[in-house]
Amino acid sequence: MWLIMTALAAIIATILWYVNAPEDKYKLGLLSWIYWGATLMWFVDHVIAYLTEGGEFFETDLDATLLGICVIILGLLVWLISLLLSDPKGVLKKVLKG
């Protein structure tokens, strides 16, 4: 399930990036790359596990769903930290100056 959820997050992030392109003020391109990288990693993991162990290709149990949610949240957290460090609107600079 985490492969499906991460792929959907990658597709949504890519659509949002493309709608706002070429201006990438909020680093949506980075968010898109984070999710596409995770999707590729999960896909390779699924293929190798399926070829070596067999069984189901997609896991749809609660643990797999929770892992997918955690991956999406972690990707958003990394993107948010990157966004805050770049401070595209200058809000943090104004707040820190007092």
The pLDDT confidence band at residue 15, using thresholds 50, 70 and 90, is very high
pLDDT of residue 54: 84
Q: What is the pLDDT of residues 26-75, one digit of tens each?
A: 899 999 999 999 999 999 998 998 999 988 888 889 998 999 999 999 99
| pLDDT at residue 10 is higher than 80 | yes
The pLDDT confidence band at residue 11, using thresholds 50, 70 and 90, is very high
Helix, strand or coil, per DSSP, at residue 15: helix
pLDDT of residue 8: 96
Helix, strand or coil, per DSSP, at residue 21: coil
Q: How far is CA 98 from CA 38, 91, 95, in A?
A: 39, 11, 5
The residue-averaged pLDDT of 1-21 equals 94
- Find the angle CA(47)-CA(51)-CA(55) to the nearest 5 degrees: 90
pLDDT of residue 29: 94
pLDDT of residue 17: 95
Domain boundaries, the chain: 2-97
| pLDDT at residue 98 is higher than 80 | no
